[in-house]
Amino acid sequence: MRLSRPFFQLPLLFDVTRLQAEVAALPPEAWVAHPDQAPGNSAVRLITPGGGETDGVQGRMAPTPWLEAMPYLKQALAGFGVVWSRSRLMRLAPGAGVPEHADINYHWHTRVRLHIPVQTWPEVRFHCDGEVVHMGPGEAWVFDNWRRHHVENKAGGERIHLVADTTGTAAFWRFVNASPPPRAQWRKVGWDPAARHPLLTEVNDRTVIMPAAEVQWLLDDLREELALAVDTPDVRQRAALFSQLLESFVFDWRQLCALHGVNGRAAAEFQHLAGAFGQAARPLAEGLVMRTNGAGALLVLDKRVLQHLVDLDAARQREGLS
């Protein structure tokens, strides 16, 4: 989800001592390697599909046994009153970092990532779109992960953050965007054994075929973000043709949805259309980038739309093939 600036610090302070105690009580087997195998990166899965040991983002999300063993951390998440998707503890070894990247895949089109540092050091720096912050222990931050960002841990100790994904409610976004009061007036969020906030978790059940309205929304957003890497007549012409191709694709996808529906019975026809669309886009995409993060238009198109137009895993599950 694109935001109006790289970082937002929320006027909240969590009990660092209790957070650290709950994390320290986790057994070594709770920590797993980062799904991208980034050196020095490891994680504890907290909210996952079915509460299982997976890094997926589709299905009915639920707390894992590791989260159930951390009542204060679970209460902290529940207190936001938002629906949580995949959430983890993310650990960076001393001297390790998160390589520069932008989160432009489909999952991130409508979600942001909340960070609550549990263990950190002044030498830990978070970079996003040219701005640099140190997220202090017990603070709460939201950042625009659509922009290019990276993290570096130049400290001698491990950095551990609670990292949780959400779309947020209207009240959440009013809170994020409001001008914060002086730090002395920030709300301290302590452990409350009487609190009964339910932990709300996402149900992400995709149709086999992406509905036409969603395709239109994604591609309209992509067209608004297109920019020229080099302003030449040739690139301008390709940008115009690329935009026309996007518009034509939506019309054709809508017609297939009207003819076949979105339950996957005619998945092969939708796949054929998507494949032809991708082939037609490739020679036009050179020199076209995204204004926000500088990624190539075709890369964003692939990650945001083409890889998710037809959900074959969902089709197999509905047909009992997996």
231 and 160 part of one domain: no
The reply to whether 47 and 146 lie within a common domain is yes
Lowest mean pLDDT among 55-59, 246-250, 311-315: 311-315
Each residue of 173-188: pLDDT tens digit? 999 999 999 999 999 9
Q: How far apart are CA 261 and CA 264, in angstroms?
A: 8
Give the list of residues 6+ apart from residue 146 with CB closer than 8 angstroms, or none. Answer: 1, 2, 3, 102, 103, 104, 108, 292, 293
pLDDT digits (tens, 9 = 90+) for 70-80: 999 999 999 99
C-alpha span between 308 and 106 (Å, rounded): 7
Residues 27 and 157 in one domain: yes
Task: Tell me, yes or no, whether 91 and 128 share the same domain.
Answer: yes
1 inside domain: no
Give the mean model confidence (pLDDT) for residues 59-85.
Answer: 97
Q: What is the pLDDT of residues 185-234, one digit of tens each?
A: 999 999 999 988 899 999 988 789 999 999 999 999 999 989 999 999 99
Domain boundary among 204, 221, 242: 204
Q: Mean pLDDT of all residues in the chain?
A: 93
**Residue 2, domain member (yes or no):** no
CATH number of the domain bearing residue 197? 2.60.120.330
Q: Give long-range contacts, CB 8 A cutoff, 24+ apart: 248-253.
A: 249/215, 249/219, 249/273, 249/277, 250/212, 250/215, 250/216, 250/219, 253/212, 253/215, 253/309
262: tokens are 């979105």
Same domain, 171 and 233: no
Residue 21 lies in a domain: yes
Query: In this predicted structure, what is the pLDDT of residue 291?
Result: 86
* Distance between CA atoms of residues 55 and 247, nearest Å: 34
Compute the distance between CA of residue 179 and CA of residue 173 in angstroms, rounded to an integer: 12
Determine, yes or no, domain membership for 52: yes
Last residue of a domain, one of 173, 204, 235: 204
How many domains does the chain fold into? 2
pLDDT at 118: 98
- pTM for the predicted model, two decimal places: 0.90
Average pLDDT rounded to a whole number, residues 228-254: 95
Does 317 have pLDDT greater than 50? no
Domain-ending residue, one of 153, 177, 204: 204
| Strand duo 59-63 + 149-153: pairing | unpaired
Q: What is the pLDDT of residue 312?
A: 64
- Are 168 and 53 contained in the same domain? yes
Q: Is residue 23 part of a domain?
A: yes
Residues 110 and 189 in one domain: yes
- Same domain assignment for residues 230 and 177: no
**What is the reported pLDDT for 204?**
86
Q: Residue 319's pLDDT is what?
A: 38
pLDDT digits (tens, 9 = 90+) for 87-104: 999 999 999 999 999 988
Assess if residue 278 is contained within a domain. Answer: yes
Q: What is the pLDDT of residue 2?
A: 86
Instruction: Decide if 227 is inside a domain.
Output: yes
Judgement on whether residues 249 and 275 belong to the same structural domain of the protein: yes
23 and 66 share one domain: yes
* 260 shares a domain with 192: no
Asked whether residue 71 is assigned to any structural domain, the reply reads yes
Domain that holds residue 302: 212-318
Residues 170 and 244 in one domain: no
- For range 141-145, the mean pLDDT: 95
Buried b (16+ CB within 10 A) or exposed e, 242-262: bbeebeebbeebeebbeeeeb
